[in-house]
Structure 1
Amino acid sequence: MGFMNWFRGPRVATQRKDGGRQVNTPDELADAIRHQSMSNAAGMPVTANTAMRVAAVYACVRLISGAVANLPIDVKERINDDTRTNRPDLLLWSVLRRKPNGWQTPSQFKRMMQAHILLRGNAYAQIVWSRNRVIALLPLDPDRMKVKQADDLSLRYTYTRRDGREVPLKQEEVFHLVGLTLDGVTGVSAITYARETIGLSMAQERHGATTFKNSARPSIVLKHPGKLGKEGLEFLRASLDEYRQGGESEGKALILEEGMDTNQLSMTAEDAQWIESRKFSRTDIAMFFGVPPHMIGDTEKSTSWGSGIEQQSIGFVTYTLEDHLTTWEETSNRDLIREPNVYTRFNRRALVRGDIKTRTEHYVKMLQWGVYSPDEVRAREDENPRQDGKGGVYYDPPNTAGQTDKKEGDLDDPKEPA
């Protein structure tokens, strides 16, 4: 049975808008129970879906997955040791650059797959082959995939459809991106090891939401000289809650009757250094994902100008983003390509598209040293060749040391002493 037949099977919703999951099989029930037990010292269940509600986690996932999604990936062929050429004639070029499947754009596909790696440690896509060529990549839910290594060291995949049926897949049928791995087969997610930090941040957000819902006022105790009846107690509680909730009562006086008095009962959020603790959690989450804190808005302990921010941004590209790009390239070369000397590579020049100064300085140097011709620079900027036909000229390098050609009138080299 072909993949498209069971892929188009009955669609039973397993993911609700509120983040909950509908359980259809015993395995999904066990998985749901396991996720519910993923609590921490803060008492908050942390899963991939709940973690995305934390601003720092969402920002880190958005930044990394967005960077991967916006970089174009090329399919190239190595002609010889010195020559490389693009292969837009291959179907894989169209899959990676135009249409990976029937409903996603390339950037949507790459962004979703990268988010799966960051949140779950693995990303899967069904490879649709036709005459030994890749014609489509169909993304699969990593929560419904099981991976086992057989005795012959090959990988066996079992995917659970939305109707609960399990479908076995061969290794050559799955495009499997693996993040940080401890067993060499499946990856581990940053969520797994950052659960305590993320859970603390979730608990702090809940505390803050509750505090500001009650107009950010500390709890108080009301003292009455006499004894209130049941109706009087309920009326007093309702009146006080109505006063404390909502911004319209902010700054107004609280009127107490029958000789009542108030005393403060608890510390304020500032006294508990709630805001400061949130800053620590935000920095720790950025560290788990390898994102410089300033990129998620945490610039308190770093300079907002000069080489500090610049070097952190360079470090993000070198040590974090490059790791993910290499994973994509090597996995594509292994799973998607069968032609000899053909490989995939991200166009990293696109990283400086927003930096006109750096891009211009690079082009000027490449032109001066004869590395690029004017038409090649124009092509990289998506411009047409020069109309005068002189754009294909390579300029001589400014360093002419060792040049043997002499112009008329040049002095002879001094003779060496006998």
Structure 2
Amino acid sequence: MGLMKFVRGIGRRGNASGARSQTFDLSNMSGDDIREFIRMGGGMDTASGVSITDARAMRVAAAWRCVNIISGTIASMPTDIIKRESETVRRPAVGHPLRRVMTVKPNPWQTPAEYKRLMQGHVLMRGNAYSRIVRSGKDVVALLPMNPDRTVAEQNSDMTMRYRYSRPDGTTITLSQKDVFHLRGMSLDGITGMSVLSNMREALGLSIQTETAGASMFKNGVLAGGAYKHPGALSDKAYERLKSSLADKSGAEKSGEWLILEEGMDVASVVLSAQDAQFLETRDFQRYDIAMFFGVPPHMIGATDKQTSWGSGIEAQGIGFVTYTLSDWFAIWEQAIKRDLMPMDEWENLDFKFFPQGLLRGDTKARKEFYQSALQWGWMNPNEVRSLEDMNPRDGGEKYYDPPNTAGNQNKDTGDDNPQTPDDQRIQD
């Protein structure tokens, strides 16, 4: 079957019952879009008439920024494998094979940041991210990302999972649950995550169509800053003098200079029409709509002209982003890694952890206040603070300070096991 016949076939795709056909417009697609359209079996049609593909979605600025900022934050966040030696003692699991995979080299061609960014991008757009687990004995030695569009997750009768993966060469393999690391987004069946791309296709379609309409307006429309009105017909000499005068006044260095108008001419400004203003409002609304799907505060994608329910200030919105969006992804990563990559006999004493304190790297004032509070109230010592700043320990830095205005603090200052209170001293005097 020829390529165009195949394209026409999926371009007039019917529903499951075959009762109604759906027509997709391929005439305004680039070559990459058509290949993506075919790969997805016809794309995702929208009421706005746009077929949504990964490539098209990521050309929407708001969608690109949302995916990039969440994936980038997850990728850059400090992580580690933590071993619980007791109920109160936790230390980095130095020497554990999984620690090397997650913090040094997940596979032969990716860094940990590149791997986490890719996996987070997959789960954001597709609802699922998969990696094939490579083991040496019982130890995980590598994680090989799998394309979610070529992976089918299914549940066996014994409630375990199996995964059918189509390799790039066209062959298909079936992998058991122990061979696949699966990040699952929001799910309604507990088996596969819901695709954000599929659920926000209408918002993306409207955004793409308004962008196309705006580009067409700038290409074919007339955009003028003002107009000169004449009560009659402007003579040729007056026209030439006016044209020459306008040319002489152009440029930033001539801004603010006055024009001499002839033969009773007047100046009128050209204001934005109600239709144009509504068009711009539609484009602006789409940014907020897309940000809502991803749970990203509007100010992080450049939308700062409206108050939102995230809070009245940028700081409150940033806290909301960590609390309500990033914390959810932290839990998904941490628990999926424990389920798929750690042996069951290590579940009780081994954890994979994100350290959100890394978000304070760019805020010197916030870091200072955080460390000051930690030292003052005795839940960190100076060497622990120095280690977070990549500084070597110092002598005596293992000492914890007692919180101020406590009995312990008075003991340390006086060296007396039974310090006297001011009232006791007055009685003796």
TM-score over 0.5 (shorter chain): yes
Size of the alignment, in residue pairs? 340
1:149 Cα deviation from its structure 2 partner: 0.8
Distance 1:323 1:302 in 2: 24
Structure 1 segment 178-217 matched on structure 2, within 5 A: 178-214=184-220, 216=222
> What residue in structure 2 maps to residue 161 of structure 1?
167
Would you say the 8 A contact 2:33–2:53 is kept in 1?
Answer: no
DSSP-derived class of the 1:406 partner = coil
DSSP-derived class of the 1:201 partner = helix
Distance 1:409 1:211 in 2: 81
DSSP-derived class of the 1:192 partner = helix
Give the 3 Å change call, closer, same or farther, for CA 132–214 of structure 1 in structure 2.
same
1:409 Cα deviation from its structure 2 partner: 9.7
> What residue in structure 2 maps to residue 173 of structure 1?
179
Letter paired with 1:166: T
* C-alpha RMSD over aligned residues: 2.5
Task: Give structure 2 stretches of 5+ with no counterpart.
Answer: 1-29, 225-271, 412-416
> What residue in structure 2 maps to residue 353 of structure 1?
361
Structure 1 segment 241-390 matched on structure 2, within 5 A: 270-271=275-276, 273-302=278-307, 308-338=313-343, 339-340=345-346, 341-386=349-394, 389-390=395-396
Letter paired with 2:41: A
The structure that is helix-richer by fraction is 2
1:147 Cα deviation from its structure 2 partner: 1.1
Give the 3 Å change call, closer, same or farther, for CA 411–206 of structure 1 in structure 2.
closer
1:307 Cα deviation from its structure 2 partner: 5.3
1:270 Cα deviation from its structure 2 partner: 5.0
Distance 1:283 1:393 in 2: 49
Aligned partner (choices 383, 398, 405) of residue 399 of structure 1:
405
1:215 Cα deviation from its structure 2 partner: 5.4
Letter paired with 2:89: T
Would you say the 8 A contact 1:302–1:309 is kept in 2?
Answer: no
Distance 1:119 1:363 in 2: 37
> What residue in structure 1 maps to residue 155 of structure 2?
149
Deviations 1:100-158 (A, max 9, x none): 00101110000010010110000000110111000000001000001111111111100
Give the 3 Å change call, closer, same or farther, for CA 334–409 of structure 1 in structure 2.
closer
1:390 Cα deviation from its structure 2 partner: 2.1
Distance 2:203 2:279 in 1: 15
Give the 3 Å change call, closer, same or farther, for CA 360–17 of structure 1 in structure 2.
farther
> What residue in structure 2 maps to residue 18 of structure 1?
32
Distance 2:312 2:279 in 1: 32
Give the 3 Å change call, closer, same or farther, for CA 413–81 of structure 1 in structure 2.
farther
> What residue in structure 2 maps to residue 4 of structure 1?
none
* Identity over aligned pairs, percent: 49
Deviations 1:202-261 (A, max 9, x none): 00111112222235559xxxxxxxxxxxxxxxxxxxxxxxxxxxxxxxxxxxxxxxxxxx
DSSP-derived class of the 2:186 partner = coil
Of residues 72-81 and 136-145 in structure 1, the stretch that sits farther from structure 2 once superposed is: 72-81
Would you say the 8 A contact 2:184–2:193 is kept in 1?
Answer: yes
Letter paired with 1:112: L
Distance 1:124 1:412 in 2: 69
DSSP-derived class of the 1:21 partner = helix
Q: TM-score, normalization: structure 2?
A: 0.74
Deviations 1:88-110 (A, max 9, x none): 20111111111100101110000
DSSP-derived class of the 1:377 partner = helix
DSSP-derived class of the 1:208 partner = helix
Distance 1:104 1:64 in 2: 19
Distance 2:273 2:41 in 1: 37
DSSP-derived class of the 1:32 partner = coil
Distance 2:371 2:174 in 1: 51
Of residues 153-162 and 406-415 in structure 1, the stretch that sits farther from structure 2 once superposed is: 406-415
> What residue in structure 2 maps to residue 46 of structure 1?
52
Letter paired with 1:323: D
Give the 3 Å change call, closer, same or farther, for CA 268–45 of structure 1 in structure 2.
farther
1:407 Cα deviation from its structure 2 partner: 4.5
Would you say the 8 A contact 2:161–2:177 is kept in 1?
Answer: yes
> What residue in structure 2 maps to residue 412 of structure 1?
424
Would you say the 8 A contact 2:74–2:117 is kept in 1?
Answer: yes
Distance 1:307 1:379 in 2: 35
Distance 2:352 2:198 in 1: 31
Deviation above 4 Å: which 4+ runs of structure 1? 215-218, 267-270, 401-404, 407-411
DSSP-derived class of the 2:390 partner = coil
Distance 1:22 1:206 in 2: 20
Letter paired with 1:325: F
Would you say the 8 A contact 1:121–1:186 is kept in 2?
Answer: yes
Letter paired with 1:327: I
